[in-house]
Amino acid sequence: MTQKPHLGPEHGQHLFRRMLRIRRFEGKCAELYQTQKIRGFLHLYDGEEAVAVGIMEALEDGDAVVATYRDHGHALAKGLPMGVLMAEMYGKVDGCSRGRGGSMHFFDRSRRFYGGNAIVGGGLPLAVGIAMADKQLRPGAVTACFFGEGAAGEGEFHESMNLAELWDLPVLFVCENNLYAMGMPLELAEAETDIFRKAAAYRTPAAAVDGMNPIAVEAAARKAVESIRVGNGPYFLECRTYRFRAHSMFDAQLYRTREEIDLWKQRDPIPRMRRWLEENHMVSPQVLSEIEAQVEAEIEEAVAFAEQSQWEKIEDLDRFVVIDEVPK
């Protein structure tokens, strides 16, 4: 049975720190993008931190995670080192994918973090395959698969849900519903806007949760993971959240208003968690200052690590891409 943590000062501060690390890391990435230290595509997770943090609290080291192209928060919450991730953002050889994946393709086999997947819904069948293998080779392991509400309109979504239920696979499906699939409002794309209800077509237990509250997400995730670990098959969580930044750095955001963004920012999970800790006398101003200073120092170290890392050698650029001869 999954052990539930005591929601005391230590755990509350832990949740706050983990969300703050993601927010500040991404803020630095946006700054570095503007100076062209980071190039290519960049999809930021600001506003959605409570989902990654809450879900990961219910998982164990041996569990697998399949993420989307908005994967920075998932990777940090799963435990990938910040310096390695920053090096990957730079395209350096010390990155988690040797600089070949960049922002959208974080990967760490040792920590069972399987992407960073650029295709919408592309991680769903991968999660089913990983869970199918784990059912035979790693009894008790869970695969958490993150995807946006836009993926619910893809064929892979329905195929993956169906097979996971048919085969009783240990998959936690996590829909990060931020209301806009790139620039498409949910109500214009889906007849049923309560995404979690789609799981009923496959007889998969499901729930909707406040994705702006890490405590609520963690509680729902622990209940789901406990059900999966005892052999009840897959579980579906719809985490209702919102991204504060544009879809990507190239997005003009013509599909939503400034007023809507400001309204959602009133539910920002980080200051919301901070207020909760302060109101319940679970943190002092001194401790908050120490947490912020530690996070800033970690980010400075990560940037220094990325700056000092080397580029892949030109003669090695065809590694993992071209083989010299076909095995007989």
Choose among 168, 169, 167, 118: nearest CA to 147.
118
Domain membership of residue 1 (yes or no) is no
Cβ atoms < 10 Å from Cβ of 248: 15
| Half-sphere exposure of residue 141: CA atoms within 13 angstroms, side-chain side | 20
Please give the pLDDT value at position 258: 94
Q: What is the pLDDT of residues 146-175, one digit of tens each?
A: 999 999 999 999 999 999 999 999 999 999
**What DSSP assignment string belongs to 104-163?**
G---BGGGTB-----STTTHHHHHHHHHHHHHHHSTT--EEEEEEGGGGGSHHHHHHHHH
Q: What's the token pair of residue 73? A: 């928060």
Please give the pLDDT value at position 5: 61
Name residues whose C-beta falls within 8 Å of residue 287's C-beta, 6 or more positions apart in sequence: 13
Q: Which residues of the chain have pLDDT under 70?
A: 1-6, 324-328
Please give the pLDDT value at position 328: 64
CATH of the domain at 241: 3.40.50.970
Please give the pLDDT value at position 70: 95
Domain membership of residue 322 (yes or no) is no
Please give the pLDDT value at position 160: 98
Domain membership of residue 325 (yes or no) is no
Cβ atoms < 10 Å from Cβ of 321: 7
In the chain, the number of structural domains is 1
Domain membership of residue 2 (yes or no) is no
Host domain of residue 92:
9-316
Please give the pLDDT value at position 1: 43
Domain membership of residue 271 (yes or no) is yes
- Predicted structure pTM score: 0.93
Burial (CB < 10 A; 0-12, 13-18, 19+), residue 5, is middle
Choose among 178, 189, 244, 187: nearest CA to 211.
178
Name residues whose C-beta falls within 8 Å of residue 297's C-beta, 6 or more positions apart in sequence: none
Domain membership of residue 210 (yes or no) is yes
Domain membership of residue 296 (yes or no) is yes
Domain membership of residue 3 (yes or no) is no
Q: What is the mean pLDDT of the chain?
A: 94
Please give the pLDDT value at position 121: 94
Name residues whose C-beta falls within 8 Å of residue 284's C-beta, 6 or more positions apart in sequence: none
Name residues whose C-beta falls within 8 Å of residue 167's C-beta, 6 or more positions apart in sequence: 132, 135
